[in-house]
């Protein structure tokens, strides 16, 4: 029988429609191949086909900039959604508001290996990649025009990828996105009522129940959220409370790399390389220009940074778009059972 579950973190209801449930085998049919161009601009030797790099990791000291020899490369997006130049110029247009499209849009080429993915990259390489994310986040937050930075990855055509070569994106915006703002509001309201972090409370509850814990280590927990929007949706939460990813330590980076790589491998084993979105949710830029006075007084205590892995195995259609209700045909407890069962598989 279907049931409604309330998502404490997003403040919305989700329909868990188990009568519509399908086995993981049935969820593998979604096509997620990316059309390959005649050449890959992200492969070594093609650096001249991309904008000049912002950062490169792993190139030998005598290696030329914008040449081969790198392990991770950060470049501006060739077709950016937002541009770093200019002032915000926020103003009213009658009843409406507008501002210039100021921000940043970067591409992180995760590896020189065209056929690699998060599940095949060694943990030490994932540590380097996560460190790049952390450092780019800190650098972009030095720009007081920018209120939020989203790090995300689209894996597969259904999830929005247009190139198969492993890459992530970073978009910095002069406003806080609605989904993040809702999380911030829910977290603040919970803290004001209980003087505790909402995410810490959820994590402690999940650890005690142990119904939706997929894997864990001393620093991170991977769980299927109680009100999952999508089949096999996962959240990765740090055990140590921190509002921003910039607070992560080197030891925690290594632990996160292990969890992220293992989660990707289990999803691949159960769902045969599913399309998915990976998103990092972190605290907004508290030094941003035109931030309301006192807006972030409790932020260090009430918000808790985290990752979300969102497999794209079902379609978002008219009902979801019209109501913001998601219909998930796979209960998170069932998804957890399948993902636990592949523990230790090759």
Catalytic residues: 167
Residue with tokens 């084993």: 269
Burial class for 247, CB neighbours closer than 10 Å (0-12, 13-18, 19+): middle
Three-state DSSP string of the chain: CCEEEEECCCCEEEEECHHHCCCCCHHHHCCCCCCCCCCCCCCCCCHHHCCCCCEEECCCCCCCCCCCCCCEEEEECCCCCCECCCCCCCEEECCEEECCCECEEEEEECCCCCCCCCCCCCHHHHHHHHHHHHHHHHHHCCCCCCCEEEEEEEECHHHCCCCCCCEEEEEEECCCCHHHHHHHHHHHHHHHHHCCCHHHHHHHHHHHHCCCEEEECCCEEEECCCCCCCCCCEEEEECCCCCCHHHCCHHHHHHHHHHHHHHHHHHHHHHCCCCEEEEEECCCCCCCCCCCCCCCCCHHHHCCCEEEEEECCCCCCHHHHHHCCEEECCCHHHHHHHHHHCCCCC
Q: For 93, left (φ over 0), alpha (ψ -120 to 50), or beta?
A: beta
Q: Distance between CA 73 and CA 318 in Å, rounded?
A: 39
């Amino acid at each position: 029988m279907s049931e409604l579950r309330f998502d404490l973190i997003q403040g919305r209801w989700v329909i868990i429609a188990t009568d519509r449930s399908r086995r993981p085998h049935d969820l593998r049919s979604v096509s997620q191949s990316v059309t390959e161009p005649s050449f890959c601009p992200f492969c070594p030797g093609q650096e001249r086909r991309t904008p000049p790099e912002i950062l490169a990791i792993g190139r030998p000291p005598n290696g030329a900039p914008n040449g081969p020899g790198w392990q991770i490369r950060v470049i501006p997006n060739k077709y950016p959604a937002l541009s770093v130049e200019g002032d915000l110029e926020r103003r009213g247009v009658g009843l409406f508001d507008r501002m210039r499209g100021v921000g940043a849009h970067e591409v992180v080429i995760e590896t020189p290996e065209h056929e690699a993915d998060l599940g095949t990259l060694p943990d030490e390489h994932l540590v380097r990649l996560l460190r790049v994310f952390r450092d780019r986040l800190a650098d972009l937050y030095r720009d007081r025009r920018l209120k939020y930075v989203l790090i995300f990855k689209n894996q597969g055509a259904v999830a929005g990828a247009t190139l198969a070569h492993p890459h992530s994106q970073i978009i910095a915006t002069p406003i806080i996105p609605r989904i993040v703002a809702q999380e911030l509001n829910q977290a603040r309201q919970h803290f004001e009522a209980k003087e505790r972090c909402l995410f810490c409370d959820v994590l402690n509850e999940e650890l005690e129940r142990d119904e939706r814990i997929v894997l864990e280590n001393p620093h991170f927990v991977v769980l299927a959220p109680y009100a999952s929007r999508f089949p096999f949706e996962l959240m990765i939460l740090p055990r140590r409370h921190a509002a921003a990813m910039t607070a992560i330590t080197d030891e925690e980076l290594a632990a996160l790399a292990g969890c992220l790589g293992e989660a990707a491998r289990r999803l691949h084993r159960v769902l045969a390389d599913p399309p998915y979105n990976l998103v990092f949710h972190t605290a907004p830029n508290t030094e941003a220009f035109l931030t309301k006075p006192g807006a972030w007084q409790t932020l260090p205590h009430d918000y808790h940074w985290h990752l979300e892995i969102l497999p794209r195995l079902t379609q978002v259609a008219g009902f979801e778009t019209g109501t913001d209700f998601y219909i998930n045909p796979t209960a998170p407890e069932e998804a957890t059972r399948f993902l636990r069962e592949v523990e230790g598989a090759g």
